[in-house]
Amino acid sequence: MFNILKKIGWFIKQEWKSYVLMLVFLTLIALMALTPAYILGIAIDVIVSKSLNEVTLLYLIGALVLFPVLRYISSFIYNYTVNKTSQKLAFTFRKIYLRKLFSMDAEFYEKYQKGDLISRATSDLDMITVAATSMLEGIVFNLGMIIIAVSIMAVTISWELTLISVTIMPIGLTILNIIRMKKREYVKKHRVIYAEMTEKILESVEGQKTIRAYVQEENDLEEQKKAIVNDIESWRYIVNYENRLAPMFESVYGVAYILAFVFGTIFIMNQQMSVGQLITFISYIGVLYGPIISISGVFQQINNATVAVDRYDEIMKTEPVVKDEKIPENIISFEKIQFKDVTFKYPFDEKPTINKINLTIKKGQTIGIVGPTGSGKSTLIRQLLREFNVTSGDIYIDDKNIKKFKIENIRKIVGYVPQSHMLFRRGVDDNILIGNPQATIDQLNRAIKIADFEKDLNYLNAGLHTKVGEGGTTLSGGQKQRLSIARALIREPEILILDDSLSAVDANTEETILEQLKKYRMNKTNIIVAHRFSAIREADLIIVMDGGKIVQEGTHETLTKVDGWYRQQYIQQMSMK
């Protein structure tokens, strides 16, 4: 509980007025919940003593009517405040969490699965939010009701009977809650199993086209079933554990009830209390049932929320490996980029993907990169995005280490079109404007023209405003590539990287795009990774990679004259035409 309070302490300070308001109305609700039992006891004693008259009856009826009305009004205000505060806390927590996710580097996303991160952002944060707003009611209100009720029972009725019947409750509940705390470790395990199930369902939804294409629906459904069954079995263990404890809580209450009735009857026989007082006393025992059971439920919520807080903390305490220096420098342009003995190994690989790379890229050049599959082409150019820190060596921009520049600025001067194209369920124009939300209509039209997407607009039912299916499902492979190229172009980047981004377009479209790039991107740098040599034939510099190293470099003319991988592949491609 203290761990949760520590984590949300800043929010309680920020929203202290709301918490004070909740506390005031909780106190009023507690007092009004106890009042009817007290009035009922008085009424019974008045009736038994035969001193009831019209005035007294009206007072009693008025009191019994008034307090429920006041309690309803107080409950309405309290619940409204709780829900408003809860929603605000949930929004704030998720905003902080998502901002944290956006600040993390690629290594972080290599470590954590999407399903796991989603479950932390949804169910885990829901548990924290519920605990943060319900603890006040669960602890303060219920504990307050118990203390007030027990005080009234002891002071106004009989402290002896209170001691006999109520003492068993805190002792029994404490023992049972200690037993319940042992469940926490298994709740942690369940959160992991739940995340795995979420990940599997996400994978199935995202890969449904491939699954259908290879007629693997039944196999995939079987894997989903296993993940869901694991989650159900895991949760069933927790539910059964709780079900075994719940009757024990009720048994503690039942024993208190029996003690109150038996000893209360003896006290009446000995004229130590009246019938009305015993009924009031037993009514208070009944009133105590709700708070006692609620407190046991609150401990369960706190138990679950503690696990959720630990999982939330794990993410919030993780620091990105790739981050800005304390006082980073800004960059809006460059003249020269140099790779000096750059070696890079992915965090979970054993061997480097690129090794001892030395390369100079000058402003305005078009660089072509070719090589066998797995030779490190994409890994090389992605170093300019600063997704990872290089393992050894350095990258310099205008003779300054790339680490000195603000990461955000580095990425702003780069327009990157990856091999896999992520499109969103929104309009074609909105998908392009992600690259530059402030772009003018002229910039939008120019990006569409350079990417040769103009001819496609006539075939889309709403033109530029046509909604793209999730992941680009309503577009062809070539359309998705060109839409992604337009997105990169609209930001008018200093460096445009096409990472095998022309593979799905035909030869004529490829030629059109390359001509438009040459026309509209004069004095700007283009880096093209390709398998078809037609895409890089006119590049100022072509580098050939193999085994993570640059094995050849030069222009198309010089490389075709030298025996090597480039010349062999070029001859092979020409013979296939």
pTM of this structure: 0.70
Q: What is the pLDDT of residues 328-345, one digit of tens each?
A: 999 988 999 999 999 999
pLDDT score at 342 = 95
Q: Is the pLDDT of residue 213 over 70?
A: no
What number of other Cβ atoms are within 10 A of residue 341's Cβ? 12
Residue with tokens 């401990």: 299
Look up residue 197 and give its amino acid.
M
Task: Give the CA distances from residue 406 to residues 356, 430, 512, in Å, rounded to whole numbers and listed in that order.
Answer: 25, 27, 35
Q: What is the pLDDT of residues 29-65, one digit of tens each?
A: 877 777 777 777 777 777 777 777 777 778 778 877 8
pLDDT score at 2 = 66
Q: Is the pLDDT of residue 184 over 70?
A: no
Nearest-10 Cα torsion for 339, 340, 343, 344:
-40
pLDDT score at 252 = 74
pLDDT score at 88 = 87
pLDDT score at 259 = 86
* Two structure tokens written together for 344: 């890079």
**Cα within 13 Å of Cα(114), Cβ side:** 9
Please report which confidence band the pLDDT of residue 249 belongs to, taking 50, 70 and 90 as the band edges.
low
pLDDT score at 183 = 67
Mean pLDDT in residue range 280-305: 75
Q: Is the pLDDT of residue 214 over 70?
A: no
Give the strand pairing for 392-397 and 354-362: unpaired
- Name the more confident of 183 and 190: 190
Q: What is the pLDDT of residues 82-98, one digit of tens each?
A: 888 888 888 888 888 98
- Residues 286-320 as b or e (16 or more Cβ within 10 Å = b): ebbbebbbbbbbbbbbbbbbbbbbebbeebeeeee
Please report which confidence band the pLDDT of residue 348 belongs to, taking 50, 70 and 90 as the band edges.
confident
Please report which confidence band the pLDDT of residue 209 belongs to, taking 50, 70 and 90 as the band edges.
low
DSSP annotation string for 266-303: HHHHTTSS-HHHHHHHHHHHHHHHHHHHHHHHHHHHHH
Helices (H) and strands (E) in the chain, counts: 22, 10
Least confident of 101-105, 177-181, 194-198, 431-435: 177-181
pLDDT score at 383 = 92
Least confident of 210-214, 446-450, 523-527, 547-551: 210-214
User: What phi and psi, each to the nearest 5 degrees, are found at residue 317?
Assistant: -85, -10
Please report which confidence band the pLDDT of residue 176 belongs to, taking 50, 70 and 90 as the band edges.
low
Which 8-state DSSP code applies to residue 379? H
pLDDT score at 198 = 82
Mean pLDDT in residue range 340-363: 92
Q: How distant is the alpha carbon of residue 313 from its chain centre? A: 13
Paired with 362 in beta bridges are 336
pLDDT score at 507 = 86
- Name the more confident of 142 and 3: 142
CA nearest neighbour of 129 among 305, 316, 294: 305
Look up residue 441 and give its amino acid.
I
Please report which confidence band the pLDDT of residue 203 belongs to, taking 50, 70 and 90 as the band edges.
confident
Domains of the chain: residue spans and CATH: 2-183+246-316 (1.20.1560.10)
In whole angstroms, give the CA distance from residue 53 to residue 138.
Answer: 41
pLDDT score at 180 = 65
Task: Give the CA distances from residue 505 to residues 366, 449, 462, 511, 514, in Å, rounded to whole numbers and listed in that order.
Answer: 20, 15, 23, 10, 12
Q: What is the pLDDT of residues 474-490, one digit of tens each?
A: 888 888 899 999 999 99
Q: What is the pLDDT of residues 414-453, one digit of tens each?
A: 999 988 778 888 899 999 999 999 999 999 999 999 999 9
Q: Is the pLDDT of residue 242 over 70?
A: no
Q: With pLDDT > 70 as the criterion, what percentage of the chain qualifies?
A: 92
Please report which confidence band the pLDDT of residue 571 belongs to, taking 50, 70 and 90 as the band edges.
confident
Average pLDDT, the chain: 84
> Sign (positive/negative) of CA torsion 281, 286, 291, 297?
positive
In whole angstroms, give the CA distance from residue 380 to residue 339.
Answer: 10
Which 8-state DSSP code applies to residue 474? T
Q: Is the pLDDT of residue 295 over 80?
A: no
Q: Is the pLDDT of residue 302 over 80?
A: no
pLDDT score at 370 = 94
Mean pLDDT in residue range 287-299: 73
Mean pLDDT in residue range 273-292: 80
- Name the more confident of 367 and 129: 367
